[in-house]
Amino acid sequence: MEDTITVLFQQGGDEANSASEIPRQLGQVRLIEEIGRGGMGVVWRGYDQLLKREVAIKLLKPSLTSQVEHRARFIAGAQAAAAIKHPHVVMLYYAGEYGELVYLVMEHIQGVSLRQLLSRVGRMPVELAALVIAYICDALTAIHDCQVIHRDLKPGNVLFDHRGELQVSDFGLSLVAQQGTIREDELQGTPPYMAPESFQGETSFQSDIYAVGMMFYEMLTGRPAFPGPRLEEYHLQHRDWPVPQEPLAQVATHPVLLEIINRATHKQRIFRYKRALQMRMALDNFMPNLLLNEVLNRQLHELVTASPPVKAVTEQTPSSPSPNSSLDMITLRAEAKRRLKEQRDEDSSS
**236 found inside a domain:** yes
Domain that holds residue 254: 112-305
Strand ranges across the sheet with 111-113 = 111-113, 158-161, 166-168
Average pLDDT over the chain, rounded to an integer: 83
Q: Please report whether residue 348 resides in a domain.
A: no
Asked, for residue 160, whether it belongs to a domain, the answer is yes
What's the whole-model pTM score? Answer: 0.82
CATH number at residue 24: 3.30.200.20
Buried b (16+ CB within 10 A) or exposed e, 294-306: eebbeebeebbbe
The answer to whether 279 and 137 are in contact (CB under 8 A) is yes
Burial classification of residue 200, based on how many CB atoms lie within 10 Å of its CB (0-12 exposed, 13-18 middle, 19 or more buried)? middle
**Cα(142)–Cα(349) distance, rounded to whole angstroms?**
43
Report the CATH number that the domain containing residue 226 is assigned in CATH.
1.10.510.10
Q: Where residue 342 falls among pLDDT bands split at 50, 70, 90?
A: low
Pairing type for strands 111-113 and 158-161 reads antiparallel
Q: Would residue 345 show up in a list of annotated catalytic residues for this protein? A: no
171 lies in the same domain as 262? yes
> In the predicted model, is pLDDT for residue 8 greater than 60?
yes
Q: Classify residue 154: in a domain, yes or no.
A: yes
Task: Answer whether residue 206 shows pLDDT above 80.
Answer: yes
- Is residue 178 domain-shared with residue 45, that is, in the same domain? no
Give Cβ neighbours of residue 8 (< 8 Å, ≥ 6 apart). Answer: 17, 18, 19, 42
Q: What's the whole-number mean pLDDT along residues 62-87?
A: 81
CA distance 223 to 227: 9
Using CA atoms, how far residue 1 sits from 22, 24, 324, in Å, is 13, 12, 41
151 and 77 co-located in one domain: no
Q: Are residues 193 and 237 in contact, defined by beta-carbon separation less than 8 angstroms?
A: no
- Residue 275, domain member (yes or no): yes
User: 46 pairs with which residues across the strands?
Assistant: 31, 55
pLDDT of residue 9: 80
State the total domains in the chain.
2
Same domain membership, residue 155 and residue 281 = yes
164 contact partners, CB below 8 Å, separation of at least 6: 111, 300, 301, 302, 304, 305
Q: Quick one: pLDDT at residue 185? A: 54
One domain, residues 117 and 263: yes
Same domain, 91 and 197: no
Residue 333 pLDDT > 80 = no
297 within a domain of the structure (yes/no): yes
Residues 94 and 53 placed together within one structural domain of the fold: yes
Q: Do residue 152 and residue 38 come from a single domain? A: no
| 129-160 pLDDT tens trace | 999 999 999 999 999 999 889 888 999 899 99
Mean pLDDT score, 291-298: 94
User: Is 337 inside a domain boundary?
Assistant: no
Q: Provide the 3-class DSSP secondary structure of residue 213.
A: helix
User: Is residue 343 in some structural domain?
Assistant: no
Taking CA atoms, 58 is separated from 74, 94, 104, 125, in Å, by: 12, 11, 5, 34
Q: Give the pLDDT confidence of 236-290 residue by residue, as tens digits.
A: 999 999 999 999 999 988 999 999 999 999 999 999 999 999 999 999 999 999 9
Whether residue 123 sits in one domain with residue 149: yes
283, 143: one domain: yes
- Spatial separation of the C-alpha atoms in residues 125 and 255, rounded to whole Å: 16
**Residue of 3, 14, 152, 161 marked active site:** 152
Higher pLDDT, residue 225 or 317: 225
Per-residue pLDDT at 337: 52
Same-domain status, 297 and 162 = yes
Closest by CA position to 213, among listed 174, 161, 168, 258: 258
Query: Closest Cα to residue 218, out of 144, 155, 301?
Result: 155
> Do residues 187 and 293 both lie within one domain?
yes
Q: Does residue 223 surpass a pLDDT of 90?
A: yes
User: What is the identity of the amino acid at 206?
Assistant: Q
Q: Are 164 and 300 in contact (CB under 8 A)?
A: yes
What is the arithmetic mean of pLDDT over 81-95?
A: 91
